[in-house]
Structure 1
Amino acid sequence: MEGKEEDVRVGANRYGERQPIGTAAQAKDYREPPSAPLFEAGELSSWSFYRAGIAEFVATFLFLYITVLTVMGVAKSKSKCSTVGIQGIAWAFGGMIFALVYCTAGISGGHINPAVTFGLFLARKLSMTRAIFYIIMQCLGAICGAGVVKGFEPHLYERLGGGANTIAKGYTNIAGLGAEIVGTFVLVYTVFSATDAKRNARDSHVPILAPLPIGFAVFLVHLATIPVTGTGINPARSLGAAIIFNKDQAWDDHVSLIHP
């Protein structure tokens, strides 16, 4: 009987009728970790803290670099049939999130999104110190990523909108705001579900690859909201593209005043 119980514990299906379910399984395999402290001064002297911030910077930089280039490639083409189209843009966003979360999950948790970081902070999964640091690094990475794309061809970047989010014709600001709120909720909800430790304990016999549902959620949300707002759902992505694009617009307006 001891051998049978051991097989059940590690998730074998041989004695599935003996496997505890529901709260019984959670009580056996899972213990709720303590909430993260609001402020943890010790993190500031830890290399792993800064390494995690660097990982968030690099991941958000690469995310903006690839996705903004994809958006501009579609906008540049006269015939959408000759490009990846909206579906390709959605795959670029979802695919990059899948790859980058997979690469950085073991270093920083693979947030790559201030909305995800803020949600995890509210759930007390990380300290305010780490949350603020992550958000700053994410925004800086996004700005640098969009800036590198702009550096390839500044005039083309301006003409094609720079990947900045805008409300499409026929939609109101309220509709755009609603689309972004629901889309961001879908993403954050998926992140919480995919990384739920209780699920891993309860369904330990089912391998769960968290980056896959997260990337797929990003893909689906983009399919739905690209025609409405261009899809933000990531404040760093929207901020980075908007700052670089609007900086160009402001400079052009300044030059036009000096040299009409």
Structure 2
Amino acid sequence: MSATQQLTTAAGTFRIQLQGPEGAPVLVFSNSLGTTLEMWEAQAQAFSRDFRVLRYDTRGHGASVCSPGPYSFTQLGGDVLAILDALQIEKAHFCGISMGGLTGLWLGVNAAARMRSITVANSAAKIGAEGPWLERAASVRTQGAAGMQALADSSPSRWFTEGFAAAQPAVVQQAQAWIAGIAPEGYASCCEALAKEDLRAAITTITTPTLLVAGAHDPVTTVADAQAMQAAIAGSILATVPASHLSNLEAPEAFNQALQHFLQQH
């Protein structure tokens, strides 16, 4: 397996991991708020046979650049383009979950020429309301590491179904460790980006092949959110998997199957 590396780009330095045959089509995976590129391990293993799999820690997360906030999706989407530029990748498939899914929608709207396809998992064109995101950002900035630990303690109920959390405590604990380790400034700055972004009108312009993945039990970004995006994006496909919010972790087989079937068409 390829080791992670620090990649210097025009937008800053990002921690990335590349796996799979050189010359194969590139498939980018973008993490959710409060996680790192390790969340995609099951997908990297499954897809690196046929694709050049590129994972990265989003700005403010893991070992990527943590610049002062607030961030915007113009910045987070631009980071993806900067990473592709630094690696001299002209076009790529993109798969993002939650915050990463909204990054994918931004790329579909603003950088269609660079995208072979976009997969938007457990996301929405507008995630949550502005007020709670800004309150969370302010709280984390005030409380620092203790605030991140508090989020880690409360995250399982938002991220996983009760049954999965009981059956797979090691997966849950790993996810909690990711969020507890995120820099408060980076997390807060991404919350501020989520507070402001609303692509509900813009996504009607997306012409890039689009797969929408919804978790049947997701309380954060619901099946209804995915259905709204499907209605707005011409030709988009919706797949529902038996999971809560982090569907690639809770239902990796179903997630991979839906993504594999979609990518075979594009």
- Pick the TM interval, shorter chain: under 0.3
Please give the TM-score of this superposition, normalised by the length of structure 2.
Answer: 0.27
Over alpha carbons, which structure has the higher Rg? 1
Q: Which has the higher contact order (CA 8 A, sep 6+)?
A: 1
Please give the TM-score of this superposition, normalised by the length of structure 1.
Answer: 0.27
The structure in which a higher percent of residues are helix is 1
